[in-house]
Amino acid sequence: MQQIGHWIDGKPATGTSGRSADIYNPATGEVQAQVNLATKAELDDVVARAAEAQKGWGATNPQRRARVMMAFGALINEHMDELAELVAKEHGKTLPDARGDVQRGLEFVEVCMGAPHMLKGEYTTDGGPGIDLYSMRQPLGVVAGITPFNFPAMIPLWKMAGALVCGNAMILKPSERVPSTAMRLAELLQEAGLPDGVLQVVNGDKEVVDAILDNEEIAAVAFVGSTPIAQYIYGRACTNGKRAQCFGGAKNHMIVMPDADMDKAADALLGAGFGAAGERCMAISVAVPVGQETADALMERLAPKVEALKVGPYTAGEDVDFGPVITSAARDRINGLVDSGVEEGAKLVVDGRNFSLQGYENGFFVGPSLFDNVTPDMKIYREEIFGPVLSQVRTNSYEEALKLTMDNPYGNGTAIFTADGDTARDFAARVNVGMVGINFPIPVPLSYHTFGGWKKSAFGDLNQYGPDAFRFYTKTKTVTARWFSGIKEGGEFNFKAMD
């Protein structure tokens, strides 16, 4: 059976802990590999190595660091299909979805090719008599990225590209459920010219996470995962004096106004609610039609589309709509939440609980479920399901729909479908959510903007990628300089001349 270790000092390394975790094929339920789990001592040793490697890398000029990103981006393009298959094999995504995972990560690598411009400081001449002021952006030193299972390529790329091009060394701790893509990306970075030790990939569980949070050499921690873990990591990192950005869960609403194109709205909800088996922090899990006629028209279009969704393994071809969820525990939790919706009185229009696929009976598959008449007090509304379940909550007015969205404790993404520009402008201005879509169901900004939620979806004041990444991974030093310009007389400055 394949054994996956770590990536240390520019090459694969076997762990010494003697501990490992199983990596499953979500489509079959079979163990396909094992990953070594590092100890605190191993992590501390790797951090020391990274700190030494960072000295030379941090002193390398930004243009040369950007050239490594250029070569890295070319290699990602060259190995796109290979990387997508690695993602699909461990996560269960369809191949088109897996390619999208890699592509969205690559887009930020491309932004990082412009690091020389992004890292420029500010300059003021003659701030006072003979006084100039200027600022410099300098690397933090050693930083860490802790990334989730649902985007094995995209989120590690978001973390490491920005950290590295800013001159830092990075400790990357990918999800132990999907380590292979991160390991392969490390190989490609090495091929692109990254010096040994600047990127270290350490696989592990909570022991390694806590070791990262407590290691005094690590200056910053970037995390994506569930809200409880995001809060935990943010609190412990800040207590230990680290810079931290921690992104958590979501409950994303899509308001559908009576004037919206119902066919387009239904198609948008289909992809946004069920793509990637709903395992996305930007998935739309709540449809909010305004008015009973709107709700009836939307459900009439949605139900047959949801029933027709094709579920299967990535090997079945590109016409599969989504694959399995990540673990049997995730499957059981999703089915349990659907049970609770039925018990609490929601109308289950499409039931995906008893889905079974011939030849893949032991896989972690969940069929699509669609609810109507969900209310905010129900468990399926309150909790992030992270599965292929869409709930419709009926409202009677725009203000009621807006309030529902704003009262939710999460604030990652939201959307509105309408033909009215005034309503769209009002929604975008007033809603307390970090990313807003107008007739756009999954409003993930392009990589030269920035990505981040509000409320319990994010902890920290700087977002992922875009300009905020360069701010997060650097510290600003400001210099105030005065050059004495008095005329030397007898080898001495004429200080009177400066008055």
Chain centre distance of CA 479: 35
Q: Is residue 281 annotated as a catalytic residue, yes or no?
A: yes
Angle (nearest 5°) at CA 468 between 70 and 99: 50
CA 119 to CA 327: how far, in whole Å? 42
Cβ contacts of residue 55 below 8 Å, gap of 6+?
none
- Cα separations (Å) of 74 from 101, 103, 166, 326? 16, 12, 20, 30
* Closest CA relative to residue 77, chosen from 188, 3, 214: 188
**Residues 25, 10: Cα–Cα separation, whole Å:** 28
Measured distance between the N- and C-terminal CA atoms of the chain, rounded to whole angstroms: 79
For residues 19 and 348, what is the distance between their CA atoms, to the nearest angstrom? 43
Contacts 24+ apart (CB under 8 A), 85-88: 85/314, 86/152, 86/180, 86/181, 86/184, 87/152, 87/153, 87/178, 87/181, 88/314, 88/323
305 neighbors 314 (Cβ within 8 angstroms): no
Alpha-helical runs (H) found in 308-369: 328-343
CA distance 389 to 309: 12
User: Which SS3 state, helix, strand or coil, does residue 26 take?
Assistant: coil
Q: Distance between CA atoms of 200 and 220, rounded to whole angstroms? A: 15
Catalytic residue among 112, 166, 246, 281: 281
Smallest CA-to-CA distance from 439 within 420, 426, 412 is with: 420
Question: Where on the phi/psi map is residue 169: left (φ > 0), alpha (ψ -120 to 50), or beta?
Answer: beta
Place of tokens 């409880």: 228
Residue for token digits 């990628």?
465
- Write out the catalytic residue numbers: 281
